[in-house]
Amino acid sequence: MNGKTDIAKGRIKEAAGVLTGNDKLRNKGQTDQAVGQVKQTTAKVIDKVAKKMRG
């Protein structure tokens, strides 16, 4: 999955956890969002490095 998908999935899980009072699900959602943000940041860094190496 890409970062945006992980973030969206995490938001849904977090909201479901809040609505049901399930702290474990809420925390999993927050973790998924963080993973998505890391993936997006990593992709941006890789793109910048690749551009620098090309020229």
Q: 33: domain range?
A: 3-54
The distance in angstroms from the start CA to the end CA of the chain is: 30
Q: How many domains would you assign to the chain?
A: 1
The whole-number pLDDT of residue 55 equals: 79
Q: What is the pLDDT of residues 1-55, one digit of tens each?
A: 799 999 999 999 999 999 999 999 999 999 999 999 999 999 999 999 999 999 7
- What is the rounded distance in angstroms from the CA atom of residue 54 to the CA atom of residue 27? 41
